[in-house]
Structure 1
């Protein structure tokens, strides 16, 4: 098992959900955290909690991963003490809408493509060259069961997560011959802000997604990511698909009530 003491870990989408859960588990392990998100106040609150509970060293980036120039600036202007990133966790992502393709919202499409694909590419493009130069590092991409199985009205979201799967596989191939590892963690149902965001803040509709089901938690996903990043250096866990016991596929869910 690799020690993460003083390793520098960059987590996007860190202000809530899986990103926050990752920040906590890595802080407890003694890692130094670069936390990136759009919501500055939530980032500051998280930093204060991590410092109080774990005495963690934390560097904050208010960042929209869709903005390529902002991503380039954020990475190139990291203080020297924070510039050698050991683990990149591309967690920022979202789903918008649940419309049939021929009735879909162009704005929803663009937001998903810009965040889930282009944002992940931007971070990867600006962080990985440093890893290659140092011949060490690990990229963890947050995919989804939706990248493996398309479901009705999932069209563009499923396409973006299929892209994450392809990008992860391609990156692993491109890094062959280096000591850098690449992992895609692809969950099924996880209770986060995901459904609330998908339904544009409709809390009642979001709650129905998880009704009668015990979904995965952000902590479950963070635990799997932590496991993948702490294996022996010669071990690369390429892909992990995990779902709650009450889910058998993207569309098959056992609802108990």
Structure 2
């Protein structure tokens, strides 16, 4: 949480410095909640199968979907009343559980542990003003995501099953959202879709024998959200006195 706050503060500071070179800056600061669905839709893992009392290694599909929800902070910064600006979003979330296919078995598991799960998106934004109060925004961004889920059988005194599934991804995000603005109040609702071609996936299950080295993985992420916040405007006058 401390790192998240520092990153957000640095972002505001950098944007403020950039705004000092413009005649007018408009900063929309937004906080809200979201539902998050992360899906590793491609991946392979080795697992063992017993045939006629002999052990054989096979390549099998690995798929996992994470269900999560959380809160986010974000900023949109525009210069000189232009439609193009800078875009930043960051959020913390809790994973409720996963639906995973590995080792030839599909299971649905609750998350019984508390972990740090987060996303960061940074890029540009284009705002189309429909009228004085409503605008439609499109934001392409570079994205980073981390989600993790662990399950332990808490119903028995002796733990009979332990699992872990974690995803770290780097990719791109497209965020489409609408803004409602009234004076210094602003609200937004939309959906961000992310694609992660660069992923690091770890998985293990004490009840299923398969390798923890998950290969050839790719993932996507969907994040519908609502948020509210405030608009801060600053006018900078540049006065240059003529030489005497």
Larger Rg: 2
TM-score normalised to the size of structure 1? 0.24
Bigger proportion of residues as helix:
1
